[in-house]
Amino acid sequence: MSTALVLGGGPAGLAAAEVLLARGHAVTLVDHKPSLARKFLMAGKSGLNITKDEPVGDLQRTIGCPQLDPMLAEFDAADVRAWADGLGQEVFTGSSGRVFPVAMKASPLLRAWLARLEPMDRRLGWRWVGFDGAGHDFDTPEGREHLGADVTVFAFGGASWARLGSDARWLPAFEEAGIPMVPFAPANMGLCVDWSRHMERYFGAPIKNVALNCAGRRVVGEFVLSRAGLEGSLIYALSPELRTGAPLFLDLKPGLSEAEVAARLAKRPAKESLSNRLRKALGIAGPLAALLQEFGRPLDDLPSKVKALPLHHTGARPLDEAISVAGGVAWGALDDGLMLRAKPGMYCAGEMLDWEAPTGGYLITASMATGRWAGRAAADFMER
Ligand SMILES: Cc1cc2nc3c(=O)[nH]c(=O)nc-3n(C[C@H](O)[C@H](O)[C@H](O)COP(=O)(O)OP(=O)(O)OC[C@H]3O[C@@H](n4cnc5c(N)ncnc54)[C@H](O)[C@@H]3O)c2cc1C
């Protein structure tokens, strides 16, 4: 029997291992953490959104990475649901189309998944430290070890939330081996703001039913004011544009044109206070009014400030805090089966590849789809 090494036990690595085992190959899974899939379990703390219930074309468009299209076509939202179902884990679709396990956490799903992967050999607490010919070197509690294999699937994750395992310490060894990399950058990240002390009482406040405009893109929904700055799905959705340094504008009344905002304000008595005018004409009060004061002064042209308030921030929160990352192993380094051109028989999958996706289940779906794709290509390689 041929042996496959899967390095990294997050959703991508586990998906690769599942395919390799199903094809009858012996699998050894290595992870430097003492337990597997820590980021997957952390994702479960906020409900575990495993996919987005939409046709594959929509998934592909939202992720917007053509190299992933065939992988998503083979393992799309319906397949994720069927896979969870096959593990005896019921899922449901929320009003936004996001799909969650009924249990609303990751541990029962992970337990069932690992039970299915029981035949694989596990080496936990082993850190991959570099290539060694056709095999690999590891730092282990017992010292340096070497493992060889017929095929290898790397699934080391991205470069955020290092404490959960994906610390990107593998990167220099890949660069030394001449594997082209796109620098990691934060995705689905918050922004830093130097708030005035007036804003303190609003930290934690959600800003709902607003739109954000950045570099020609408009997104509608909600975000949150935090001590550090701005967070939440609406901010995360603009990560690619924000990374270019493009200015960010808040539309406080997305359902009204600037002329309608002006007309409503003009109807209020001239001697009315600014806060009463904003509240009575436009329903702008509390944290929304505070944002106008914080970023809109002088409030001379109020309608235009209401429709396009510049949100002055000082850049992205640190990479390690980002929900996910952009960048990673460059597509040019890989063939169609996700095999490293420089390392025949060695494949890459998951967030360590150069793609990014918004939150909403896309990340786990694409990580698993690439894991399965690499696992299948690795099995084909061995069987050839
Ligand atoms: C707070 C939070 C919430 C999230 N919520 C969701 C969600 O609801 N839905 C969603 O779709 N996505 C969510 N995500 C993103 C999702 O969890 C990741 O995109 C996904 O886990 C990536 O899978 P992966 O297998 O590529 O990498 P990872 O899950 O990061 O796994 C990589 C593994 O490789 C191991 N490893 C790394 N380096 C080495 C080494 N040198 N030697 C040995 N092992 C190594 C790590 O220990 C780790 O176990 C969330 C992320 C965070 C941080």
Separation of CA 376 from chain center: 24
This model's pTM is above 0.85: yes
Q: Is the CB of 100 under 6 A from ligand 1?
A: no
The CA 148 to ligand 1 mean position distance, Å, reads 25
Helix H or strand E segment including 318: none
Q: Whose CA is nearest to atom 30 of ligand 1?
A: 157
Angle at 364 between CA 360 and CA 367, to 5 degrees: 135
Q: 196-231 pLDDT, tens per residue?
A: 999 999 999 999 999 999 999 999 999 999 999 999
pLDDT at 46: 85
Give the pairing of strands 248-251 and 309-310.
antiparallel
Do 235 and 213 touch, CB atoms closer than 8 A? no
At residue 294, the pLDDT reads 97
**Which tokens belong to 276?**
């009463």
* R_g (Cα) of the chain, nearest Å: 24
Q: What is the DSSP letter of 198?
A: G
Per-residue pLDDT, 296: 96
Query: From CA 265, how far away is CA 21, in angstroms rounded?
Result: 67
pLDDT along the chain (384 residues), means of 10: 91 98 98 98 93 98 98 98 97 95 95 97 98 94 96 98 98 98 98 98 97 98 97 96 97 98 96 96 97 95 97 97 98 98 98 97 98 98 95
60 lines ligand 1 (CB under 6 A): no
15 lines ligand 1 (CB under 6 A): no
Atom number, ligand 1, closest to the C-alpha of residue 160: 53
- Test site for ligand 1: of 5, 14, 33, 39, most ligand atoms within 8 A of the Cβ: 39
pLDDT at residue number 134: 84
pLDDT digits (tens, 9 = 90+) for 1-14: 679 999 999 999 99
332 alpha carbon – ligand 1 mean position (Å): 23
The residue nearest atom 3 of ligand 1, judged by CA position, is: 43
Check if the beta carbon of residue 312 is closer than 8 Å to that of residue 295: yes
Pocket of ligand 1 contains residue 10 by CB under 6 Å: yes
Nearest-angstrom CA–CA distance, 296 and 306: 9
Cα–Cα nearest to 217, from 168, 262, 251, 189: 251
Per DSSP, 226 falls in state: -
Query: Which amino acid is residue 286, in one-letter code?
Result: G
Give the whole-angstrom CA distance, residue 69 versus residue 75.
10
* Closest C-alpha to ligand 1, atom 53: 323
What's the CA-to-centroid distance between 164 and ligand 1, angstroms? 8
Highest CATH level, class, for 3-186+321-383: alpha beta
In this structure, the strands spanning 229-231 and 217-225 are antiparallel
Domain ranges of the chain: 3-186+321-383, 191-310
